[in-house]
Amino acid sequence: MHWGFSQFACMVAFSALLLSAPSSIAQQQSAAPSERGSPAAQEAAREVTQPLNNAPVWREVRSGVPAITAVTGQETNVLIQPTMKLPFEPAVSAGEAWRLARPPLSTIGGTIIALSVLALFAFFRWRGSIGVHEPPTGRFIERFSNTDRMVHWTVAISFSVLAITGLIMGLGKYLVIPLIGHTAFSWLAIVSKTTHNFVGPIFTVFLPVLIAIFIRDNLPKMYDLQWLKTFGGMLSKNGGEVPSGRFNAGEKGLFWILPCFFGVLLVVSGLILDFPNFGQLRMVMQQANLVHMVAALLAIAVACFHIYLGTVGQRGAYQAMRTGYVDEAWAKEHHRIWYEDVKTGRSRQRFAHDVPPQTRAHVLEALEEH
Protein backbone atom coordinates (compact mmCIF):
# COMPACT_ATOMS: atom_id res chain seq x y z
CA MET A 1 0.00 0.00 0.00
CA HIS A 2 2.91 2.31 0.89
CA TRP A 3 4.31 1.65 -2.58
CA GLY A 4 1.03 2.68 -4.21
CA PHE A 5 0.76 6.01 -2.43
CA SER A 6 4.36 7.14 -2.87
CA GLN A 7 4.34 6.19 -6.54
CA PHE A 8 1.05 7.98 -7.00
CA ALA A 9 2.55 11.12 -5.45
CA CYS A 10 5.48 10.86 -7.88
CA MET A 11 3.08 10.42 -10.75
CA VAL A 12 1.11 13.54 -9.82
CA ALA A 13 4.29 15.60 -9.31
CA PHE A 14 5.72 14.52 -12.65
CA SER A 15 2.43 15.16 -14.42
CA ALA A 16 2.41 18.69 -13.00
CA LEU A 17 5.95 19.15 -14.26
CA LEU A 18 4.98 17.95 -17.71
CA LEU A 19 1.91 20.13 -17.85
CA SER A 20 3.97 23.19 -17.00
CA ALA A 21 6.46 22.42 -19.79
CA PRO A 22 4.63 24.21 -22.65
CA SER A 23 5.00 27.65 -21.05
CA SER A 24 8.78 27.27 -20.79
CA ILE A 25 8.90 26.01 -24.38
CA ALA A 26 6.94 29.07 -25.50
CA GLN A 27 9.44 31.36 -23.73
CA GLN A 28 12.26 29.85 -25.76
CA GLN A 29 10.52 30.25 -29.09
CA SER A 30 11.20 33.87 -29.93
CA ALA A 31 14.40 34.92 -31.71
CA ALA A 32 17.26 36.21 -29.56
CA PRO A 33 18.04 39.96 -30.08
CA SER A 34 21.48 39.06 -31.54
CA GLU A 35 19.80 37.00 -34.31
CA ARG A 36 18.78 39.05 -37.37
CA GLY A 37 18.21 38.32 -41.05
CA SER A 38 17.07 35.22 -42.87
CA PRO A 39 16.23 32.01 -40.98
CA ALA A 40 19.53 30.54 -42.22
CA ALA A 41 21.44 33.52 -40.79
CA GLN A 42 19.53 33.24 -37.51
CA GLU A 43 20.38 29.56 -37.31
CA ALA A 44 24.06 30.29 -37.94
CA ALA A 45 24.01 32.91 -35.15
CA ARG A 46 22.20 30.52 -32.79
CA GLU A 47 24.74 27.76 -33.37
CA VAL A 48 27.47 30.07 -32.13
CA THR A 49 25.67 31.10 -28.95
CA GLN A 50 23.83 27.80 -28.26
CA PRO A 51 25.37 24.87 -30.17
CA LEU A 52 22.83 22.12 -31.12
CA ASN A 53 19.88 24.46 -30.49
CA ASN A 54 18.16 24.67 -33.89
CA ALA A 55 15.10 26.65 -32.83
CA PRO A 56 15.34 29.05 -35.85
CA VAL A 57 15.00 26.11 -38.26
CA TRP A 58 11.84 24.95 -36.47
CA ARG A 59 10.46 28.52 -36.38
CA GLU A 60 10.83 28.61 -40.14
CA VAL A 61 9.10 25.22 -40.47
CA ARG A 62 6.21 26.45 -38.33
CA SER A 63 5.87 29.68 -40.31
CA GLY A 64 4.15 27.78 -43.12
CA VAL A 65 6.71 28.73 -45.79
CA PRO A 66 6.41 26.07 -48.54
CA ALA A 67 9.20 23.50 -48.40
CA ILE A 68 10.14 20.55 -50.53
CA THR A 69 11.00 17.00 -49.61
CA ALA A 70 12.50 14.08 -51.53
CA VAL A 71 10.56 11.59 -49.39
CA THR A 72 7.31 10.27 -50.85
CA GLY A 73 4.30 8.92 -48.97
CA GLN A 74 1.52 10.11 -46.68
CA GLU A 75 1.85 13.68 -45.34
CA THR A 76 5.56 13.93 -46.22
CA ASN A 77 5.13 17.66 -46.90
CA VAL A 78 3.54 18.22 -43.52
CA LEU A 79 6.41 18.45 -41.09
CA ILE A 80 4.27 19.95 -38.34
CA GLN A 81 0.53 19.28 -38.21
CA PRO A 82 -2.01 22.12 -38.25
CA THR A 83 -2.99 23.85 -35.03
CA MET A 84 -5.85 22.46 -33.00
CA LYS A 85 -7.37 23.07 -29.59
CA LEU A 86 -8.32 20.38 -27.08
CA PRO A 87 -10.47 21.18 -24.02
CA PHE A 88 -8.36 22.51 -21.12
CA GLU A 89 -5.28 22.80 -23.39
CA PRO A 90 -3.81 25.75 -25.34
CA ALA A 91 -4.16 25.88 -29.15
CA VAL A 92 -1.07 24.07 -30.41
CA SER A 93 -0.10 21.80 -33.32
CA ALA A 94 -2.03 18.50 -33.38
CA GLY A 95 1.12 16.58 -32.49
CA GLU A 96 1.76 18.79 -29.50
CA ALA A 97 -1.93 18.55 -28.48
CA TRP A 98 -1.63 14.75 -28.52
CA ARG A 99 1.53 14.96 -26.41
CA LEU A 100 -0.17 17.28 -23.91
CA ALA A 101 -3.30 15.11 -23.69
CA ARG A 102 -1.41 12.00 -22.58
CA PRO A 103 -0.15 12.91 -19.06
CA PRO A 104 -3.53 13.94 -17.60
CA LEU A 105 -5.28 10.93 -19.15
CA SER A 106 -2.68 8.47 -17.90
CA THR A 107 -2.73 10.11 -14.46
CA ILE A 108 -6.52 9.74 -14.20
CA GLY A 109 -6.38 6.14 -15.52
CA GLY A 110 -3.52 5.23 -13.18
CA THR A 111 -5.45 6.69 -10.25
CA ILE A 112 -8.55 4.65 -11.15
CA ILE A 113 -6.43 1.46 -11.18
CA ALA A 114 -4.80 2.35 -7.85
CA LEU A 115 -8.23 3.09 -6.29
CA SER A 116 -9.64 -0.20 -7.65
CA VAL A 117 -6.80 -2.15 -6.05
CA LEU A 118 -7.26 -0.30 -2.75
CA ALA A 119 -11.03 -0.90 -2.83
CA LEU A 120 -10.41 -4.63 -3.39
CA PHE A 121 -7.94 -4.77 -0.49
CA ALA A 122 -10.54 -3.10 1.74
CA PHE A 123 -13.31 -5.40 0.48
CA PHE A 124 -11.14 -8.47 1.13
CA ARG A 125 -10.37 -7.34 4.69
CA TRP A 126 -14.08 -6.89 5.37
CA ARG A 127 -15.59 -9.83 3.49
CA GLY A 128 -12.73 -12.36 3.32
CA SER A 129 -12.75 -15.16 0.78
CA ILE A 130 -16.29 -16.16 -0.20
CA GLY A 131 -16.66 -19.83 0.69
CA VAL A 132 -19.13 -22.70 0.39
CA HIS A 133 -21.41 -23.33 3.36
CA GLU A 134 -22.18 -27.02 2.79
CA PRO A 135 -19.35 -29.56 3.00
CA PRO A 136 -17.96 -30.84 -0.34
CA THR A 137 -19.69 -34.01 -1.58
CA GLY A 138 -16.71 -35.34 -3.55
CA ARG A 139 -18.89 -35.52 -6.69
CA PHE A 140 -17.30 -33.40 -9.39
CA ILE A 141 -18.69 -31.47 -12.36
CA GLU A 142 -16.55 -30.57 -15.37
CA ARG A 143 -17.20 -26.80 -15.48
CA PHE A 144 -14.61 -25.87 -18.13
CA SER A 145 -13.38 -28.04 -21.02
CA ASN A 146 -9.73 -28.20 -22.09
CA THR A 147 -10.50 -25.76 -24.94
CA ASP A 148 -12.27 -23.34 -22.56
CA ARG A 149 -9.23 -23.32 -20.28
CA MET A 150 -6.59 -23.15 -22.99
CA VAL A 151 -8.31 -20.18 -24.64
CA HIS A 152 -9.05 -18.45 -21.31
CA TRP A 153 -5.46 -18.73 -20.05
CA THR A 154 -3.98 -17.64 -23.39
CA VAL A 155 -6.13 -14.50 -23.26
CA ALA A 156 -5.51 -13.99 -19.53
CA ILE A 157 -1.73 -14.38 -19.77
CA SER A 158 -1.38 -12.31 -22.94
CA PHE A 159 -3.63 -9.61 -21.40
CA SER A 160 -1.47 -9.57 -18.26
CA VAL A 161 1.76 -9.29 -20.27
CA LEU A 162 0.23 -6.50 -22.37
CA ALA A 163 -1.01 -4.75 -19.22
CA ILE A 164 2.36 -4.86 -17.46
CA THR A 165 4.41 -3.82 -20.51
CA GLY A 166 1.79 -1.17 -21.39
CA LEU A 167 1.88 0.29 -17.88
CA ILE A 168 5.70 0.40 -18.02
CA MET A 169 5.51 2.33 -21.31
CA GLY A 170 2.65 4.60 -20.26
CA LEU A 171 3.46 5.36 -16.65
CA GLY A 172 7.09 4.24 -16.38
CA LYS A 173 8.37 7.76 -16.95
CA TYR A 174 6.70 8.83 -13.70
CA LEU A 175 6.78 5.60 -11.68
CA VAL A 176 9.79 3.55 -12.79
CA ILE A 177 12.49 6.13 -13.70
CA PRO A 178 12.59 7.48 -10.11
CA LEU A 179 13.20 3.90 -8.92
CA ILE A 180 15.75 2.52 -11.39
CA GLY A 181 17.07 5.55 -13.29
CA HIS A 182 17.13 6.46 -16.98
CA THR A 183 19.61 3.88 -18.31
CA ALA A 184 17.91 0.79 -16.84
CA PHE A 185 14.51 2.21 -17.77
CA SER A 186 15.59 2.72 -21.37
CA TRP A 187 16.34 -1.04 -21.63
CA LEU A 188 13.15 -1.93 -19.82
CA ALA A 189 11.11 0.31 -22.13
CA ILE A 190 12.66 -1.21 -25.28
CA VAL A 191 11.99 -4.77 -24.02
CA SER A 192 8.44 -3.77 -23.01
CA LYS A 193 7.68 -2.20 -26.37
CA THR A 194 8.94 -5.18 -28.37
CA THR A 195 7.14 -7.68 -26.12
CA HIS A 196 3.95 -5.60 -26.33
CA ASN A 197 4.11 -5.47 -30.14
CA PHE A 198 4.49 -9.25 -30.45
CA VAL A 199 2.05 -10.34 -27.71
CA GLY A 200 -0.67 -8.00 -29.05
CA PRO A 201 -1.37 -10.19 -32.09
CA ILE A 202 -1.69 -13.32 -29.85
CA PHE A 203 -4.36 -11.53 -27.81
CA THR A 204 -5.95 -10.39 -31.07
CA VAL A 205 -6.27 -13.95 -32.40
CA PHE A 206 -7.56 -15.55 -29.17
CA LEU A 207 -9.93 -12.78 -28.01
CA PRO A 208 -12.61 -13.52 -30.65
CA VAL A 209 -12.33 -17.25 -29.86
CA LEU A 210 -12.88 -16.51 -26.14
CA ILE A 211 -15.89 -14.35 -26.96
CA ALA A 212 -17.34 -17.06 -29.25
CA ILE A 213 -16.84 -19.81 -26.65
CA PHE A 214 -18.40 -17.96 -23.71
CA ILE A 215 -21.05 -15.75 -25.34
CA ARG A 216 -23.85 -18.31 -25.16
CA ASP A 217 -23.77 -18.64 -21.36
CA ASN A 218 -23.40 -14.87 -20.91
CA LEU A 219 -26.63 -13.90 -22.66
CA PRO A 220 -28.88 -12.01 -20.20
CA LYS A 221 -31.75 -13.91 -18.57
CA MET A 222 -34.70 -12.64 -16.50
CA TYR A 223 -33.34 -14.25 -13.31
CA ASP A 224 -30.20 -12.07 -13.64
CA LEU A 225 -32.31 -9.09 -12.45
CA GLN A 226 -32.75 -10.84 -9.11
CA TRP A 227 -28.98 -11.22 -8.80
CA LEU A 228 -28.38 -7.56 -9.65
CA LYS A 229 -30.82 -6.36 -6.95
CA THR A 230 -28.56 -7.59 -4.15
CA PHE A 231 -25.35 -7.97 -6.14
CA GLY A 232 -25.72 -11.71 -5.61
CA GLY A 233 -25.51 -11.27 -1.82
CA MET A 234 -21.85 -10.33 -2.15
CA LEU A 235 -22.27 -7.08 -0.25
CA SER A 236 -23.61 -8.80 2.86
CA LYS A 237 -21.66 -11.18 5.06
CA ASN A 238 -24.71 -13.26 5.99
CA GLY A 239 -26.87 -12.99 2.87
CA GLY A 240 -27.35 -16.17 0.86
CA GLU A 241 -26.44 -16.31 -2.81
CA VAL A 242 -29.03 -15.62 -5.47
CA PRO A 243 -29.52 -18.56 -7.89
CA SER A 244 -27.72 -18.03 -11.19
CA GLY A 245 -26.94 -19.85 -14.41
CA ARG A 246 -23.48 -21.05 -15.42
CA PHE A 247 -22.33 -17.45 -14.99
CA ASN A 248 -23.98 -14.94 -12.66
CA ALA A 249 -25.07 -11.42 -13.65
CA GLY A 250 -21.81 -9.93 -12.33
CA GLU A 251 -19.74 -12.27 -14.48
CA LYS A 252 -21.99 -11.56 -17.44
CA GLY A 253 -21.60 -7.80 -17.02
CA LEU A 254 -17.85 -8.24 -16.86
CA PHE A 255 -17.92 -10.42 -19.97
CA TRP A 256 -19.64 -7.68 -22.00
CA ILE A 257 -17.44 -4.91 -20.61
CA LEU A 258 -13.97 -6.53 -20.52
CA PRO A 259 -13.46 -8.82 -23.51
CA CYS A 260 -16.36 -7.63 -25.68
CA PHE A 261 -16.10 -3.85 -25.29
CA PHE A 262 -12.64 -2.92 -24.05
CA GLY A 263 -10.98 -6.00 -25.58
CA VAL A 264 -12.32 -5.25 -29.06
CA LEU A 265 -11.49 -1.53 -28.72
CA LEU A 266 -7.94 -2.42 -27.69
CA VAL A 267 -7.50 -4.86 -30.56
CA VAL A 268 -8.76 -2.42 -33.22
CA SER A 269 -6.76 0.56 -31.92
CA GLY A 270 -3.75 -1.72 -31.31
CA LEU A 271 -3.77 -2.97 -34.91
CA ILE A 272 -3.87 0.62 -36.19
CA LEU A 273 -0.79 1.36 -34.07
CA ASP A 274 1.01 -1.93 -34.75
CA PHE A 275 0.77 -1.62 -38.54
CA PRO A 276 1.39 1.99 -39.52
CA ASN A 277 2.05 0.91 -43.10
CA PHE A 278 -1.60 0.91 -44.23
CA GLY A 279 -1.65 4.57 -45.11
CA GLN A 280 -3.31 5.89 -41.96
CA LEU A 281 -2.51 9.54 -41.28
CA ARG A 282 -0.75 10.82 -38.19
CA MET A 283 -4.01 12.15 -36.76
CA VAL A 284 -5.54 8.65 -36.94
CA MET A 285 -2.49 7.22 -35.17
CA GLN A 286 -2.73 9.87 -32.45
CA GLN A 287 -6.45 9.21 -31.95
CA ALA A 288 -5.85 5.44 -31.90
CA ASN A 289 -3.10 5.95 -29.35
CA LEU A 290 -5.35 7.93 -27.00
CA VAL A 291 -8.26 5.47 -27.39
CA HIS A 292 -5.84 2.58 -26.79
CA MET A 293 -4.41 4.20 -23.68
CA VAL A 294 -7.76 5.10 -22.09
CA ALA A 295 -9.32 1.71 -22.97
CA ALA A 296 -6.27 -0.13 -21.60
CA LEU A 297 -6.23 1.73 -18.29
CA LEU A 298 -9.98 1.20 -17.75
CA ALA A 299 -9.75 -2.46 -18.87
CA ILE A 300 -6.95 -3.08 -16.37
CA ALA A 301 -9.07 -1.54 -13.60
CA VAL A 302 -12.03 -3.80 -14.56
CA ALA A 303 -9.73 -6.84 -14.88
CA CYS A 304 -8.57 -6.29 -11.29
CA PHE A 305 -12.12 -7.12 -10.10
CA HIS A 306 -12.25 -10.25 -12.28
CA ILE A 307 -8.79 -11.41 -11.16
CA TYR A 308 -9.73 -10.76 -7.52
CA LEU A 309 -12.84 -12.95 -7.70
CA GLY A 310 -10.99 -15.53 -9.79
CA THR A 311 -8.25 -15.91 -7.15
CA VAL A 312 -8.43 -14.83 -3.49
CA GLY A 313 -11.99 -13.47 -3.57
CA GLN A 314 -13.86 -16.76 -3.96
CA ARG A 315 -12.73 -20.21 -2.84
CA GLY A 316 -12.70 -22.81 -5.59
CA ALA A 317 -12.99 -20.42 -8.56
CA TYR A 318 -9.31 -20.50 -9.52
CA GLN A 319 -9.18 -24.31 -9.33
CA ALA A 320 -12.27 -24.43 -11.56
CA MET A 321 -10.41 -22.60 -14.33
CA ARG A 322 -7.08 -24.30 -13.54
CA THR A 323 -8.31 -27.92 -13.47
CA GLY A 324 -11.72 -27.60 -15.13
CA TYR A 325 -13.55 -29.19 -12.16
CA VAL A 326 -15.77 -28.00 -9.31
CA ASP A 327 -17.28 -29.88 -6.41
CA GLU A 328 -21.06 -30.35 -6.50
CA ALA A 329 -21.44 -28.23 -3.32
CA TRP A 330 -19.63 -25.30 -5.00
CA ALA A 331 -21.91 -25.49 -8.05
CA LYS A 332 -25.05 -25.72 -5.89
CA GLU A 333 -24.12 -22.70 -3.78
CA HIS A 334 -22.74 -20.36 -6.46
CA HIS A 335 -24.65 -21.33 -9.62
CA ARG A 336 -27.84 -23.08 -8.47
CA ILE A 337 -29.73 -22.89 -11.79
CA TRP A 338 -26.74 -24.23 -13.72
CA TYR A 339 -26.33 -27.01 -11.13
CA GLU A 340 -29.97 -28.08 -11.63
CA ASP A 341 -29.40 -28.04 -15.40
CA VAL A 342 -26.33 -30.26 -15.01
CA LYS A 343 -28.33 -32.70 -12.84
CA THR A 344 -31.19 -32.92 -15.32
CA GLY A 345 -28.85 -33.16 -18.33
CA ARG A 346 -29.98 -29.82 -19.82
CA SER A 347 -26.51 -28.30 -19.55
CA ARG A 348 -23.59 -29.15 -21.80
CA GLN A 349 -21.48 -29.68 -18.67
CA ARG A 350 -21.62 -33.09 -16.97
CA PHE A 351 -20.71 -34.87 -13.76
CA ALA A 352 -17.17 -36.23 -14.08
CA HIS A 353 -16.29 -39.72 -12.84
CA ASP A 354 -12.66 -40.01 -13.85
CA VAL A 355 -11.02 -37.03 -12.11
CA PRO A 356 -7.35 -37.81 -11.32
CA PRO A 357 -6.71 -38.09 -7.53
CA GLN A 358 -4.25 -35.19 -7.48
CA THR A 359 -6.76 -32.90 -9.22
CA ARG A 360 -9.49 -33.97 -6.76
CA ALA A 361 -7.16 -33.10 -3.89
CA HIS A 362 -6.44 -29.61 -5.33
CA VAL A 363 -10.11 -28.82 -5.90
CA LEU A 364 -11.17 -29.99 -2.43
CA GLU A 365 -8.26 -28.27 -0.70
CA ALA A 366 -9.23 -24.96 -2.30
CA LEU A 367 -12.65 -25.15 -0.60
CA GLU A 368 -11.23 -25.57 2.90
CA GLU A 369 -11.51 -22.68 5.38
CA HIS A 370 -8.09 -21.44 6.52
One-letter amino acid of 325: Y
- Residue from 192, 218, 323, 347 in contact with ligand HEM (CB under 6 A): 218
Q: Which one of 48-56, 131-139, 210-218, 350-358 is the stretch in contact with ligand HEM (CB under 6 A)?
A: 210-218
Least distance (Å) between residue 305 CB and ligand HEM: 11
- Contact mark string toward ligand HEM, 280..319, x via CB under 6 A: -----------------------x--xx--xx-----xx-
**Residue whose CB is less far from ligand HEM, 15 or 244:** 244
The yes or no reply on residue 339 touching ligand HEM (CB under 6 A) is no
Least distance (Å) between residue 127 CB and ligand HEM: 17
- Contact mark string toward ligand HEM, 227..256, x via CB under 6 A: --------------------x---xx-xx-
How deeply is 98 buried, as exposed, middle or buried, from its count of CB atoms within 10 A (0-12, 13-18, 19+)?
Answer: buried
Task: Looking at the chain, list the stretches that DSSP marks H as alpha helix, in order from N- to C-terminal side.
Answer: 2-27, 39-49, 55-62, 94-127, 146-175, 177-214, 223-230, 249-255, 264-274, 282-310, 317-323, 328-334, 336-343, 357-367
Least distance (Å) between residue 66 CB and ligand HEM: 49
- The kind and range of the H/E element at 351 are strand 351-352
SS3 of 81-140: CCEECCCCCCCEEHHHHHHHHHHHHHHHHHHHHHHHHHHHHHHHHHHCCECCCCCCCCCE
The yes or no reply on residue 159 touching ligand HEM (CB under 6 A) is yes
Q: Which one of 90-98, 151-159, 164-172, 237-245 is the stretch in contact with ligand HEM (CB under 6 A)?
A: 151-159
**Residue whose CB is less far from ligand HEM, 306 or 332:** 306
Q: Say if CB 260 and CB 352 are below 8 A apart.
A: no
SS3 31: coil
Nearest residue to 308 via CA among 143, 165, 119: 119
Q: Which residues bind ligand HEM (CB under 6 A)?
A: 143, 152, 155-156, 159-160, 210, 214, 218, 247, 251-252, 254-255, 258-259, 263, 303, 306-307, 310-311, 317-318, 320-321
